[in-house]
Amino acid sequence: MEMETRPTKVGVLPCSGESEPEGTITRNAVRLVMEKYRPGLVVSLCLPLYLAGDGGERDFAKKVPVIAVDGCPKSCARLATEKYSGPVEASIDVRALLEQWGVTESLSRSHPGPIEDELAERVAREIVRLVDGLVEEGKVEVANV
Amino acid sequence: MTDKDTRPDAADVVVLPCSGLDKEAGSASRELALRLQERGAALVCPVLYQRSPKRYEKPLSSGRLVVIDGCKTGCASKLAAERGLKLTDRLNVSEAARSRGVKPGKDPHLGAALEELLPSMVDELLEVRAPEDRAAAASELFAAPVEYREFGVDKFVFRVPVAGYFFNENDCWARVAGGRARVGVSDYVQQSASDMVFFEPPAVGAEVSIFDEVGSLETTKTALDIISPVSGKVVAVNAEVVEAPELINQDPYERGWAVELELTDFDSDRELLMDSAAYFEYLQGKAAREHEELYGG
């Protein structure tokens, strides 16, 4: 009889889009989650590599719960995951979040400053909230978060 | 005074980076693309391009496409190939960094060592132009007006460009722009040698090393070789000067250029040359000495 094993990682797939400042925020927020907030638990997936079909990214995304982090409603990260690996566990639309937070400042995609950094921190904390939710639901096996 | 930045801009460039998130080289590819964008390039987001290719139809149909891959997986190159895009050039950041002695890291942080290399990679990408583009860009730069300084020795007045020219001790000059150089002889040569009557040019396509002969001149009183101040491949000769060598007497630094070279090692050549200011001083001394020898001071 085969034992069912729960995944020990959460995959996070940012759009990291070049065309909009929110893409840069997704990129930086996911790095914060990986390096600062939930190191060892979260694995980032490289969307260009994922789309190219190399590097085992698609197979990995089939085995772990995936959170898609998109910069805008085009939802490149979520739609790519659904196409190649199956449904995502959760998704974030950063632009919608910024609207919800009342952010009206003009943002830079190439030179993030204090405002962009702060927004990346806030988005990172949103991702952490979703990651912790998956842990609480028992979808990920983890000793200590 | 600082030299004017004559590097070509990136207005006709379309850049498609991998923008990878996994490794340092991916982050560097993204940073390179953004720097090219600051120089006027159109940026294609590799992710959005797959979702909304129409968004990039216009720039991709009119610009020179440069693809930047972070690693050997070559995601951006694969994307370009899948879409049938015609590349002007591609850069692999990992290979380019290793060739400069830096090994990119495995995490996505862009470290200082790799970041330091980015300006030279941008320059490299902007230098990668189709030959006809390079020629057009260089011609434009060579057409820029020249400012002169002059000094007199007895009844003779000698002119030297204020900047942008490099000289050897044979009184031959190179005017460098966009990876090319035009080569000619100085005002001092044309006055000393008298009226030009014949210009024998080198073959187009000839490979020339610094200090090689790159054509010869005959005047009403002597014959002399043009000694190249730079290494490169001859890509043009001045047909106007072949037809009318007296152009060298009339306008030695501009219309009187002799040959144009595609440069091969200007960084090394430059160490053996005088810039305009140094040549001005050198020539003042040389002209004064010769005058003294001829006329006794």
pLDDT at A93: 97
pLDDT at B99: 83
The tokens of B204 are what?
């187009």
CB A58 within 8 A of CB A83: no
pLDDT at B240: 93
Shortest CA gap B37–chain A (Å) = 9
Judge whether residue A3 has pLDDT over 80. no
Residues 35-74 of A with CB under 8 A from B: 44-49, 51-52, 54-55, 74
User: Which ipTM was obtained for this model?
Assistant: 0.85
Of B131 and A92, more confident: A92
Shortest CA gap B69–chain A (Å) = 11
Of A110 and A11, more confident: A11
pLDDT category of residue A109 using cuts at 50, 70 and 90: confident
Unique residue bearing structure tokens 């939930």: A38
pLDDT at B128: 53
pLDDT at B150: 92
pLDDT at B9: 66
Contact A19 B43 (CB under 8 A): yes
pLDDT at B5: 42
**Domains of chain B, CATH where assigned:** 13-129 (3.40.50), 139-295 (2.40.50.100)
Q: What length is written for chain A?
A: 145
Instruction: Please identify every stretch of chain B with a pLDDT value under 70, giving residue numbers as ranges.
Output: 1-9, 128-138, 140-141, 178, 267, 297
Contact B48 A74 (CB under 8 A): yes
pLDDT at B2: 37
Which chain B residues touch A45 with a CB distance below 8 Å?
A: 21
Residue A57: closest CA among A119, A11, A124: A11
pLDDT at B3: 40
pLDDT category of residue A1 using cuts at 50, 70 and 90: very low
Averaged over A5-28, what is the pLDDT? 90
Averaged over A53-68, what is the pLDDT? 89
Which H or E element spans position B279? helix B276-295
Q: Closest partner residue to B19 among A18, A77, A79, by Cβ?
A: A18
Q: Closest partner residue to A18 among B45, B51, B75, by Cβ?
A: B45
Instruction: Report the mean per-residue pLDDT for chain A.
Output: 90
Shortest CA gap A3–chain B (Å) = 32
